[in-house]
Amino acid sequence: MTIAVVVFPGTNCEHDIVHALRLVGAEPEIVWHTETDLAGVAGAVLPGGFAHGDYVRTGAIARFSPVMTEIERLAASGTPILGICNGFQILCEAGLLPGALVANRDLKFICKPVHLRVESTDSILTSAATVGQVLRIPLNSYEGQFVATDIDTIEDADEVILRYCDPEGVTGTYSNPNGSTNAIAGITNAARNVAGLMPHPERASETILGSNDGMVMIESFVESVQRVRA
């Protein structure tokens, strides 16, 4: 049960997610962005970083990397695909997830732990969590503000899976670090097999790192891969 961890020129979080996936017994395999055959892959992760230097826009060039044809094929066939941070931006640029990520409200790079509230468990990223659960996960991005022109459609379809909140789970301006519309931190697609989030669950994979709250998401993803495979 191979999970492809896709690496573009400039990706820098691949070893973190490989480590986190191994903690729950998964078999991740790092795949270079020029790969054109992902046959036999049961799931894929697009990790964080600065693919292709973030030139033009974050993810704008990466979405045309050769491997993306395979990612699009896998997504269409129901295979779980997860995008973290820069990977989330790439999935939005590719049209596999709705909306876009733009510069943070305060035009500053944000690197700090944030709180997230689970909004829906009907996704490959949150299936092992509970609705309302609050998770403390590191955020590390400049273009992290989620925007969309069709925000009501996204909300009505229950595609919002995570929102920024305070430690008690309450959303508001001060607990929304980057000004994301409706405090959206993570979303899924209509088919619910593609998900993306700006914070880094793989950086909250062990208590020695300050939090292991990210593991419920890693477990959700790996269980989803196993479920689809079975």
Partner 1 sequence: MTTHTFRVTITRKEGLSDPEGTTARKALHDLGYSGVGDVSFGRIIAIEVEAENVASARSRVEEMCTKLLANPVIETFGIESLDVEDSAIESVT
Asked if 143 is an active-site residue, the reply is: no
Do residues 10 and 33 touch, judged by C-beta distance below 8 A? no
With CB under 8 A as the contact rule, the residue among 148, 204, 215, 222 that binds partner 1 is: 148
With CB under 8 A as the contact rule, the residue among 3, 13, 21, 61 that binds partner 1 is: 61
CA-to-CA dists, residue 152 to 3, 97, 119, 120, angstroms: 33, 15, 15, 16
- The CB density around residue 132, as the number of other CB atoms within 10 Å, is 11
Give residues with Cβ within 8 angstroms of 21, minimum separation 6.
3, 5, 27, 28, 45, 218, 222
Run of H or E residues at 43: strand 41-46
Binding of residue 56 to partner 1 (CB under 8 A): yes
Asked if 200 is an active-site residue, the reply is: yes
Task: Give the count of residues interacting with partner 1 (CB under 8 A).
Answer: 23
Could you say which of 85, 115, 165, 219 is catalytic?
85
Q: 26: which strand partners?
A: none
Do residues 120 and 217 touch, judged by C-beta distance below 8 A? no
With CB under 8 A as the contact rule, the residue among 144, 179, 196, 201 that binds partner 1 is: 179
With CB under 8 A as the contact rule, the residue among 34, 69, 77, 149 that binds partner 1 is: 149
Judged by CB, which is closer to partner 1: 178, or 211? 178
Q: Which of the ranges 4-12, 132-140, 145-153, 202-210 carries the binding residues for partner 1, by CB under 8 A?
A: 145-153
Could you say which of 14, 70, 143, 202 is catalytic?
202
Judged by CB, which is closer to partner 1: 14, or 159? 159
Asked if 13 is an active-site residue, the reply is: no
Q: Which of the ranges 7-15, 35-43, 105-113, 207-215 carries the binding residues for partner 1, by CB under 8 A?
A: 105-113
Structure tokens at 13: 């979080």
Do residues 139 and 110 touch, judged by C-beta distance below 8 A? yes
With CB under 8 A as the contact rule, the residue among 134, 147, 157, 228 that binds partner 1 is: 147
Q: Are strands 81-84 and 41-46 parallel, antiparallel or unpaired?
A: parallel
Buried b (16+ CB within 10 A) or exposed e, 40-58: ebbbbbbbbbbbbebeeeb
With CB under 8 A as the contact rule, the residue among 6, 85, 92, 183 that binds partner 1 is: 92
The residues of the shown chain that bind partner 1, judged by CB under 8 A, are: 56-57, 60-61, 64, 92-93, 95, 98-100, 102-107, 145, 147-149, 179, 181
Which residues have a catalytic role annotated?
Answer: 85, 200, 202
